Structure 1
Amino acid sequence: MALEAICGMNRMPFMRRFDDLQSEWQQERLREATSNFENPYALMAPPFERPAENLPKILSHCGIRMDFDHGTTTLGFKYRGGVILCADSRATSGQYIGSQTMKKIVELNDYMLGTLAGGAADCVYWDRVLAKECRLHQLRYRKRMTVDTAARIICNISTEYKGMGLVMGMMLAGFDDEGPKLIYVDSEGMRSHGQVFSVGSGSPYALGVLDTGYRHDLSDQEAYDLARRAIYHATSKDAYSGGIVRLYHINSTGWRNICNTDCSELHDSYCGTGHLDKKKDHKDSPDKDLPCSSGWTKRKLTEDNVQTKLETV
């Protein structure tokens, strides 16, 4: 064997052992599977189309159940003070809560943020790629990447991997030379500019609150309260949303994290004892109407009192 090694005969194909060939094949497969370490845009395609739809059908023959259910609540809106982004922090795997501290608002650069909704792995991976592209763009051209350029990059990625199981719906918000921007991009290749967006399983509940209280001339404190209230009501109605409510504000000076509040604290603020104390105060002072009251109850009581007096007479 030593003479074969010296002469190089052990490297000839017909002299190689099966174990060596097997290990080389495994290393080659591993190199192909991890090609995104060198090129982040080179991912291995799944063995069939639309894995979220077809994989459960294949596994049903084996008696294995795999749920692709996922949920979240993220929202964003533009107003006169800039852009507000707010999101919960619950990550679910089917009917199980995987994490209560998931960070669903990602800092791409000092003036741009992105939100996560859909598959956590897909959103986190491509947000990291986008953050790297933002940094490279700033180093190459000596200026920040615009929100439209970042949205176009994600839109091109979504179009390239369309039908391959990519599940992603994100908002990109920032402040550039054209002012505040809010763009929605999803895994179907859709790219849409707008004033108000909400993404996730709890978005119908959040949009109900936003449609009621949103105005473009909101003050900063009113905008903060509206965003927190919308996410809170979504977490109270949607089982897939919850945890910590993270609030970010973007303006001409960049983004800043306003607060990270637990849903239980928001429940105490909006539906706790403070609300009941206000009701008691209103009872003590009958001249003041309760919030959201139409006045019908007061008129009805007055009519009943008149009717009682007439019957007494």
Structure 2
Amino acid sequence: MECVFGLVGNGFAIVAADTSAVHSILLHKNKEDKIMTLDSHKLVAASGEPGDRVQFTEYVQKNVSLYQFRNGIPLSTAAAANFTRGELATALRKEFCATFQGYSDFCVLMNPYSVNILMAGYDKEAGASLYYIDYIATLHKVDKGAFGYGSYFSLSTMDRHYRSDMSVEEAIELVDKCILEIRSRLVIAPPNFVIKIVDKDGAREYGWRISTADA
């Protein structure tokens, strides 16, 4: 029941994600931060298989840092999103060859990264932006986006209330509406959410929305 969503406002981008670490019917923890800071002005919120989510986002983070170390300048948000999309596309097209029921050199196409990403960033020239990247390497620049079961409700809520000129306070109010809708509508809804923001002052945590049961 993962829920990851985000939006772009007037000079900033916000991403929110549930904090539940779940396997089958078991809840392992409810304070798992699924939003990683790529660099000073970029955030990546991810959903998907826990191992793929952690491994792939760390891989992207280290490569973004390596590029800046080698070249002395950071990647733009668009460039980081295209790099991420390229790595997913490469992985998607790798062949896995093995002996299968007596047949040698049996090859199947496999995608080792079952992960969906919302990448938010702020660039001095381009301003705030949000990129939608799914597990089959689809890349789109969007004003708002979501992944997981919560997307059914967060997208409809954002479609109703979203404006491109929203202030931070208005955007947070909309995020809270999305969280309330998810908690109200999903049969098994994640109780806690983390919200992070990126703007000209950098990427930072805005706050947590913790259910009264876990407070």
TM-score w.r.t. structure 2 length? 0.84
Superposed CA deviations along residues 123-144 of structure 1, whole A, max 9, x for unmatched, are 1111111111121111112111
Contact 1:228 1:245 in 2 (8 A): no
Please name the residue that 2:151 is paired with. Answer: 203
Please name the residue that 2:120 is paired with. Answer: 173
In 2, Cα distance between equivalents of 1:86 and 1:179: 20
How many angstroms does 1:237 deviate by?
2.3
5+ unaligned residues in a row in structure 1: which ranges?
A: 1-70, 266-313
Contact 2:35 2:43 in 1 (8 A): yes
Please name the residue that 2:55 is paired with. Answer: 125
5+ unaligned residues in a row in structure 2: which ranges?
A: 93-109
Instruction: Mark the CA change 1:263 to 1:207 in structure 2 (over 3 Å): closer, same or farther.
Output: farther
Superposed CA deviations along residues 212-263 of structure 1, whole A, max 9, x for unmatched, are 2111222211111111220232133224541322111211111121111203
SS at match of 2:149: coil
Please name the residue that 1:246 is paired with. Answer: 194
Please report the RMSD computed on the Cα atoms of aligned residues, expressed in angstroms.
Answer: 2.0
Please name the residue that 2:18 is paired with. Answer: 88
Contact 1:89 1:241 in 2 (8 A): no
Contact 2:18 2:190 in 1 (8 A): yes
Please name the residue that 2:184 is paired with. Answer: 236
Contact 1:114 1:173 in 2 (8 A): yes
Superposed CA deviations along residues 149-207 of structure 1, whole A, max 9, x for unmatched, are 22222212212222335311111110113211111111211111110101111110111
Instruction: Give the number of the structure whose alpha-carbon radius of gyration is greater.
Output: 1
Please name the residue that 2:207 is paired with. Answer: 259
1:1-313 matches, within 5 Å, as 71-162=1-92, 163-176=110-123, 177-239=125-187, 241-264=189-212
TM-score w.r.t. structure 1 length? 0.59
SS at match of 2:212: helix
Please name the residue that 1:6 is paired with. Answer: none
Bigger RCO (CA 8 Å, 6+ sep): 2
Give the strand-richer structure, 1 or 2.
Answer: 2
Give the helix-richer structure, 1 or 2.
Answer: 1
In 1, Cα distance between equivalents of 2:89 and 2:167: 38
Contact 2:41 2:202 in 1 (8 A): yes
In 2, Cα distance between equivalents of 1:239 and 1:152: 36
Instruction: Mark the CA change 1:120 to 1:141 in structure 2 (over 3 Å): closer, same or farther.
Output: same
